[in-house]
Amino acid sequence: MLAFIIRRVLQSVLVMLVVALVSFSLFRFVGDPISSMVGQEASIADRAALRDALGLNDPFLIQFARFVGDAVQGNFGISYRLQQPVMELIMSRLPATLELALVSGIVAFIFGVGFGVYTALRRKGWASNTIMTVSLIGVSLPTFLIGVLLIWVFAVELQWLPSFGRGEVVSVGSWWRTGFLTHSGRLSLILPAITLGLYQMTLIMRLVRAEMLEVLRTDYIKFARARGLTNRAVHFGHALKNTMVPVITITGLQLGSIIAFAIITETVFQWPGVGALFINSVRFVDVPVMAAYLMLIALIFVVINLIVDLLYYAVDPRLRVDRAKTRH
Amino acid sequence: MSMTIRMKSLRLSLMAGVAAAAMAFAAVPTEAETLRWARVADALTLDPHSQNEGPTSTLLHHIYETLVSRATDGSLEPRLATEWYIHEDDPTIWVVKLREGVTFHNGNAFTADDVVFSLERVRHESSGFRALHSAVTGAEAIDDHTVHIQMSGPSPLYVQNLTNFFIMDSDWAAENDVEVPQNFAAGEENYAVRNTNGTGPYTLVERDPEVRTVLSLNEDHWGDTPQVTEIIYTPISEAATRVAALLSGEVDLVQDVPVQDIARLEQTDGVSVTTGPENRNIFFSYDMTSETLASANVDDNPFAKPEVREAMALAVDREAIRQVVMRGQSQPSAAPLPPFVNGWTEEMHEFSAPDIERASQLIRDAGYENGFSVDMHCPNDRYLNDEAICQAVVGMLGRIGMNVNLVSQTRSLHFPLIENWDTDFYLLGWGVPTFDSAYVFDFLVHTREGAYGSFNGSRYSNPDLDAKIEALATMTDLEERDALIAEIWDEVMEDRVFLNIHNQLLAYATRSGVNVEVHPENQPHMANVTFD
Amino acid sequence: MSDKTQIPAPRSWMFRAWDSDVAYSFRTSPVAIVAGAVSLLIILLAVLAPWIAPHNPYDPSSLNLMDGFTPPMEPNAFTGNVYWLGTDNQGRDIFSTLLYGARISLFVGFAAVLFAMVLGISAGLAAGYRGGWVDSLLMRVADVQLSFPSILIALLIFGVARGFIPPAYRETMAIWVLIVAIGLSDWVQYARVVRGATMVEKNKEYVQAARVIGAHPLKILVRHILPNVMGPVLVIATIGLALAIIAEATLSFLGVGVPPTQPSLGTLIRIGQQYLFSGEWWILLFPSLTLLALALAVNLLGDWLRDALNPRLR
């Protein structure tokens, strides 16, 4: 057990290093930070001096080593753009993204499972067909367009919901600022959460439907029916329960894609999360923030993977690291 | 103990939150004194000498003050300085008389020492404004309210460089160890990035970068009391969202209105739009010096031939660009000089009507029977409809046999191409913060050497002209100087160094009843905003 | 068998296809028929764009800027020209631009799916058949890939490409870079499915037998194993096509994508989005509807295919 954990942790560290190396080597192609950092009057000599001061003239490997050395100590430097410590910036934006991801994840999960079960049980009904088709619209239009259309309908035309931002936030603890505790904060969450959750909802719904249909065919369910259990008990007690393991696994692993799509949702809704911070940093070539963001994403997925692996190991030692069966 | 405090602050902000939410969705406009102001980007820092960048300076003008400032008509207005003139006996000294009875937000008195200190700080190597003060060699406080600025030579126009030179309190800077602007190499945040102590009409209440900045009225300010007593500033980067926020009544003033939305907003009940010219010209330029072009399919340099440059000027239909791409929001002109700038003449807005036939003939005369192809570089997130302008010009040039391949990309990729001479043909926009033609010549026309020509992507090099441009810096006889400026312009236009398109117009949209004037530098001041 | 029975072989092949379960399921599913018809129509229009489209939007010199913002079916205020679906901000005929845009979007979609398929199937076969360290390595890479946001992967690949491709070729290469970027972020699904199926198949008697008689592993993979995994792969590919088309649109919103002079459906939507509040609704509406119709139809086809190929659901 211990050897397995150590091996997996070492693998994770290696993955982190690879992500760091790859992302770091790409920054030079994103653009030149200097031209964003100085005014148009700056002379070529001034620009060269700043480039020197930032260490951008050093060989790539030296820059990378310096970055890793600092990062290990939790120091990601100062943002070129906002001139604040990068860790502090990211930490101040993270709650917004996590709250948005959480709410849209929950919404997607509830509606996804609900619709999935319904469409599996009433496979031929017109309501099922409508749900299946309408849900596909959510994945047939780009996220940014859905967001803009929602703003147009609900903020501009109906004026029910805010068009941008997070509303009023309240500090909880030393650094977490939440929008859950205010009316405007909750209102502001609705449109971005729908925009972000639509895609995941469709995914979960289809997965639940497919799994349910599979399970309902199994002998196990036939036995349950034969034992005279009610439809309700069969469907929810037995069938749904059996579909939940892969569904939860997939939903958990989808966190990465929720965070990725958050980049777009946050940009459209001016949601002050890490995704919008990342996009603004790309535009400015704010290398320290970009590097830290990518490391954060890598860390999140490495941790999720690690937890999933360890859970599988704990549940079923036979599976070892092979969990392909449940991952499809 | 700390727990109770936290609880209390939580409850307080909860109440504030509910109140704000109620206000945001009330049908009646908010109390007249609060102004909710949105624009495309936030100030990058609150350090007054660090970033020489539009939104940063605009916000800082509310908290800090400059010696002189730019009025909406482009003229200089006294602010912390009441008088400024060149020393009677020494043309290399600027004398600045300071306003009396001014205090910083922390109560410290504003004196000549603060100006001397600020001038020192703005000239530090980590300052973004350094280049504007390169002719300064030192400053001296003669008395509490008089400063002598020593220049390296006669600098008759130096005062024009002071409109974004903010004055900081020397004692406060010493106390908080912010005597120099942010130094990235040091790896530590500068206290002045998030904390302020200016003399301006507003004080900083709350700052959450890229989310919300709240300013409130400084009761002790020396000037007239503005109508706006509280400013809530929110950046909204997406154009559609920004316009939506105004239409839904969530903001009162939108500074960066997309040109296509102006007509519709003007017709919308409860919304009004103000437009005015910006100090920024949009033009193309090209490598007219190299032997060959990297991206062309011919083995010489077509742009080096005067016929080709003339043909391009004849092919581009500036009026069509104004009407369609800019929706009427531009001033087509032939020279890259905004109308308020010294050296501008009426003739600069004159250009020959497009003549495709003659232009095609000129291309053939230049030896390109079958035309030629070349790449054009264009930013897609910097100027008003930049990419669409480039696209339109590509089509127009196509009609005279130029097969132009458009490369449009983000600003951080575009501008280094010009700085590094990696582009043959490019779009650039140029504002003239000093309101004098010399600024255009220094950066765009003079041969690239030293501090000169950093944006001269045309590789244009004319030693005779260089000498004249250098002479402009120290000429004290303004009449003679203006004549020389006209002479230089004649030659620049003769050589067709630029293919100018237009001067941009700015549009600010507000909730009806909010009055704001368009500022040529796009630096509106909320103290000048009035309510009906 | 006599010669007589061999002659009508093609016909019998068609009969067999017509009588097959999948075809039967198609004929009896109105959704599948409509979705199939819509997909086919859009694909045909896109392929035939150069012959159908009244204008060539890729020839900038043929455009008249003054034609810009012409509403559908109304004469332009300056030029008097009338366009079916109106024109965009450059005076491009929206109908023609749509056909050409669909062409680009479909090309990117198909090519990206093909790329992801080839990559994923190869990786899946190798991992499933060889097992051991090859399997571990490929699946670890897949893990990384699966959890790392696909948009970020695409953005990063765009960055790399920018570094390696000489400036002169960047615009012409943009579309290929897109294909690689979208394809690379999508291969894992194929790899997982193929790997699983391969592991099951390789232990079956007929494969063992082929091995014993000394057949080349590659031949075994292609002849025996591949046909058995094509069903699920086809389902993933159909859904993947819709996803790739949407991904291209999303990337264009983030500023990476095809040049605006040769717009895809996604680029057209990004441009049209700017006119949501300005009254020129047609610039956004028509490209959005086309994309919606295309993606919806392909998705519905994928849905139907998934059910039709799954014998347990019939």
Task: Find all residues with CB under 8 Å of C216, minimum gap 6, and list them.
Answer: none
| Cα–Cα distance list, C17 to A150, B2, C10, C25, C28 (Å) | 45, 77, 11, 12, 15
Give me the CATH number covering residue C149. 1.10.3720.10
Q: Which tens digit of pLDDT belongs to each residue from B443-462?
A: 999 999 888 888 999 999 99
A308 φ/ψ sector (left φ>0, alpha ψ -120 to 50, else beta): alpha
**SS3 assignment, position B472:** helix
Question: Which residues on chain A are in Cβ contact (under 8 Å) with B249?
Answer: 159
Smallest Cβ distance to B129: which of A32, A39, A84?
Answer: A39
Residue C2 lies in a domain: no
Better-predicted residue by pLDDT, B384 or A23: B384
- Distance (Å) from the C-alpha of residue B437 to the closest C-alpha of chain A? 14
* Two tokens, residue A157: 């035309």
What is the number of domains present in chain B? 1
Mean pLDDT of B288-297: 92
Q: What percentage of chain C reaches a pLDDT higher than 70?
A: 88
- Give me the percent of chain A exceeding a pLDDT of 70: 92
C-alpha distance from residue A131 to each of A124, A209, B80, C4 (Å):
12, 12, 67, 52
CA distance B485 to chain C (A): 36
At residue B28, does pLDDT exceed 50? no
Residue A101: give the domain boundaries. 91-277
Contact B208 A92 (CB under 8 A): yes
Report how far residue A200's alpha carbon sits from residue A219's, in angstroms, rounded to the nearest whole number: 31
**B26 against B366, higher pLDDT:** B366
Instruction: Give me the residue label for tokens 């008003």.
Output: B384
Nearest to C313 among A148, A213, A321 (CB): A213
Q: Is the minimum CB–CB distance between C138 and chain A shorter than 8 Å? A: no
pLDDT in tens, A289-316: 988 888 888 888 778 777 777 776 665 5
| A39 → closest Cβ in B128, B189, B419 | B128
C contacts of B407 (beta carbons < 8 Å)? 167, 170-171, 259
Q: Angle CA(B187)–CA(B207)–CA(B209) in degrees, nearest 5?
A: 55
The angle formed by the CA atoms of residues B119, B123 and B127, to the nearest 5 degrees, is: 115
Residues in contact with A278: Cβ distance below 8 Å, sequence separation at least 6, in sequence order? A263, A289, A290, A293
Which of C69, C167, C261 is closest, CB to CB, to B406?
C261
Q: Report chain B's C-alpha Rg in angstroms.
A: 25
Does C162 have pLDDT greater than 80? no
Residue A68 belongs to a domain: no
> CA-CA distance, B532 to B514, in Å (whole number)?
7
Smallest Cα–Cα separation from B434: which of B331, B340, B330, B507? B340
Q: Whose CA is closest to B92, among B154, B33, B145? A: B154
Q: What's the token pair of residue A73?
A: 């100590």
Question: What is the secondary structure of B275-341 as a DSSP string?
Answer: EEEEEEEEEEEE--SSSS-SS-SSSS-GGGSHHHHHHHHHH--HHHIIIIISTT-EEE-SSS--TTS
Q: What is the pLDDT of residue C151?
A: 72
Residues of B in contact with C66 (CB under 8 A): 320, 323-324
Inter-chain touch C273–B240, beta carbons under 8 Å:
yes
- Tell me if chain C has a CB within 8 Å of the CB of B78: no
Over range B517-522, report the average pLDDT.
Answer: 92
Closest CA to B147 of B120, B125, B128, B129: B120
C206's tokens: 């007929």
Per-residue tokens: A53: 């001061």
The reply to whether B388 touches chain C by the CB within 8 Å rule is yes
CB B426 within 8 A of CB B378: yes
Of A33, A39, A155, the CB nearest to B244: A155
**Rounded average pLDDT over A208-227:** 80
Are B316 and B499 within 8 A, CB to CB? yes
Whether chain C has a CB inside 8 Å of the CB on B330: the answer is no
The CATH number of whichever domain residue B484 belongs to comes to 3.10.105.10
Residue A291 has what pLDDT? Answer: 86
The region that residue C132 occupies, defined by phi over 0 for left and psi between -120 and 50 for alpha, beta otherwise, is left
- Testing the interface with C: which of B295, B324, B385 to mutate, by most C Cβ within 10 A? B324
A 232-271 residues with CB below 8 A of B? 267-270
As for how many domains chain A has, the answer is 1
Write out chain C residues lying below 8 Å of B247, CB-based. 277
Band of pLDDT at residue B21, cut at 50, 70 and 90:
very low
Q: Tell whether C257 is within 8 A of chain B (Cβ).
A: no
* Long-range CB pairs of C227-234, under 8 A, 24+ apart, other chains included: C228/C197, C228/C201, C229/C121, C229/C124, C229/C193, C229/C194, C229/C197, C229/C198, C229/C201, C231/C309, C232/C193, C232/C197, C232/C309, C233/C117, C233/C121, C233/C190, C233/C193, C233/C194, C234/C305, C234/C309
CB B294: neighbour CB atoms within 10 A?
15
Residue C84 located in a structural domain: yes
- Binning pLDDT at 50, 70 and 90, where does residue A323 land? very low
A313 vs A306: CA distance, rounded Å: 10
| E-assigned strand segments in chain A | 170-172, 176-178
- Residue B16: what pLDDT? 41
Is A103 among the domain residues?
yes
Partners of chain C (3+ Cβ pairs below 8 A) = A, B
Residues 348-377 of B with CB under 8 A from C: 375
Percent of chain C residues topping a pLDDT of 90:
24
Contact criterion met (CB < 8 Å) for C246 and A328:
no
pTM of this structure: 0.87
- Residue range B18-37: average pLDDT? 55
pLDDT tens across C231-276, in order? 778 888 888 898 888 888 888 888 777 888 888 998 899 889 889 8
Closest CA to C185 of C211, C148, C218, C223: C148
Lowest mean pLDDT among B172-176, B255-259, C27-31, C62-66: C27-31
Asked if residue C56 is part of any domain, the answer here is yes
pLDDT in tens, C69-119: 999 988 888 888 888 899 998 899 999 999 999 999 999 999 999 999 999
Across the interface, whether the CB atoms of B320 and C65 are under 8 A apart is answered yes
Q: Residue C288 above 60 pLDDT?
A: yes
Surface of C (97-156) touching B: CB under 8 A:
none
Confidence of residue A63 (pLDDT cuts 50, 70, 90): confident
User: Is residue A319 very low, low, confident or very high in pLDDT (cuts 50, 70, 90)?
Assistant: very low
Mean pLDDT across A133-154: 89
Q: Quick check: is B458 in a domain? A: yes
Q: Which of B321, B404, B407 is opposite residue C170, by nearest beta carbon?
A: B407
Whether the per-residue pLDDT at B169 is higher than 70: the answer is yes
- A-contacting chains (≥3 CB pairs under 8 Å): B, C
Residue C171: list chain B partners with CB under 8 A: 375, 405-407
Q: Do C253 and A264 touch (CB under 8 A)?
A: yes
Look at A100-104, A124-128, A275-279 and tell me which has the smallest mean pLDDT.
A124-128
User: Where residue B381 falls among pLDDT bands split at 50, 70, 90?
Assistant: confident
Evaluate if residue C298 carries a pLDDT over 70: yes
The one-letter amino acid code at A210 reads: A
* Token pair of B276 as six digits: 């005015």
- When the pLDDT of each residue in chain B is averaged and rounded to a whole number, the result is 90
Contact check, Cβ <8 Å, A33/B9:
no
Give the C-alpha separation, B134 to B115, whole Å: 16
- The model's confidence at residue B161, banded by pLDDT at 50, 70 and 90, is very high
Q: Could you give the number of structural domains in chain C?
A: 1
B499 — pLDDT class (breaks 50, 70, 90): very high
| Closest CA of chain B from C295, distance in Å | 25
Stretch C187-212: mean pLDDT: 82
Flag whether residue A264 sits within 8 Å of chain C, measured between CB atoms: yes
Mutation choice for A interface testing from B248, B409, B419, B434 by most A CBs within 10 A: B248
Q: pLDDT confidence of C16, banded at 50, 70, 90?
A: low
CB-based contact, C169 to chain B, within 8 Å: no
Residue B411 has pLDDT above 50, yes or no: yes
CB contact under 8 A, B381 and C255: yes
Pairing of strands B372-379, B402-409: parallel
Mean pLDDT, rounded, of chain C: 83
pLDDT at residue C30 greater than cutoff 50: yes
Write the DSSP string, A60-125. HHHHHHHHHHHHHTT---B-TTT-SBHHHHHHHHHHHHHHHHHHHHHHHHHHHHHHHHHHHHTSSS
In 3-state terms, what secondary structure has residue C205?
Answer: helix
**How many angstroms separate the CA of residue B499 from the nearest CA in chain C?**
18
Q: Give the pLDDT confidence score for residue B137 in this predicted structure.
A: 95
In angstroms, the CA B415 to CA A36 distance is: 9
Segment A135-139 mean pLDDT: 83
* Comparison of pLDDT for B247 and B23, the residue scoring more: B247
More confident site: C14 or B253:
B253
**A304 chain-C contacts, CB cut-off 8 A:** 147
**In the prediction, which pLDDT does A128 show?**
87
Does residue B293 contact residue B303 with C-beta atoms inside 8 Å? Answer: yes
| Residues forming beta bridges with residue A78, ordered by sequence position | A85
Q: C187-201 and C226-253 are packed helices; what angle lies between their axes, rounded to 10 degrees? A: 170
Q: Which domain does B461 fall in, by range?
A: 278-505
What local confidence, expressed as pLDDT, does residue B78 receive? 96
Q: Tell whether C312 is within 8 A of chain A (Cβ).
A: yes
pLDDT in tens, C62-75: 888 888 899 998 88
- Residues of chain B in contact with residue A277, where contact means CB-CB under 8 angstroms, are 210
Range of the domain at C73: 34-313
In this complex, which of C89, C168, C280 lies closest to B295 when CB atoms are compared?
Answer: C168
CA distance to partner chain B, nearest, from residue C266 (Å): 16
Q: Using the 8-state DSSP alphabet, how is residue B222 labeled?
A: S
Cβ atoms B380, C255 nearer than 8 A = yes
8 Å CB contact of A41 and B244: no
Alpha-carbon Rg for chain A in angstroms: 24
pLDDT score at A325: 41
Residue C226 pLDDT: 80
Backbone phi, psi, residue B69, to 5°: -135, 165
Residues of B in contact with C275 (CB under 8 A): 260
Question: What is the Cα–Cα distance from B270 to B254, expressed in whole angstroms?
Answer: 14
Q: A104 lies in a domain? A: yes
Beta carbons of A148 and B240 less than 8 Å apart: yes
Residue B14 confidence (pLDDT): 40
Q: C10 lies in a domain? A: no
Mean pLDDT of chain A: 82
On chain C, the residues whose CB falls within 8 A of the CB of A27 are 159
Higher pLDDT, C211 or B67: B67
Reported as a single tens digit per residue, the pLDDT across B38-93 is 999 999 899 999 888 889 999 999 999 999 999 988 889 999 999 999 999 999 99
Position C48 scores a pLDDT of 93
Burial B67-96 (b: 16+ CB within 10 A, else e): bbbbebebebeebbbeebebeeeeebbbbb
Tell me how many degrees the CA angle A326-C233-C47 measures, rounded to the nearest 5. 145
Q: What is the tens place of the pLDDT at every residue in B459-496?
A: 999 999 999 999 998 888 889 999 999 999 999 999 99
Whether residue A207 lies inside any domain: the answer is yes
| C62, C64, C155, C261, best to mutate vs chain B, most B CBs in 10 Å | C261
Q: Is A77 left (phi over 0), alpha (psi -120 to 50) or beta?
A: left
**Helix, strand, or coil (residue A300):** helix
Quick check: A31 pLDDT over 80? Answer: no
Which residues between 59 and 118 in chain C have a beta carbon less than 8 angstroms from any beta carbon of chain A?
none
Question: How far is the C-alpha of B515 from the C-alpha of B273, rounded, in Å?
Answer: 9
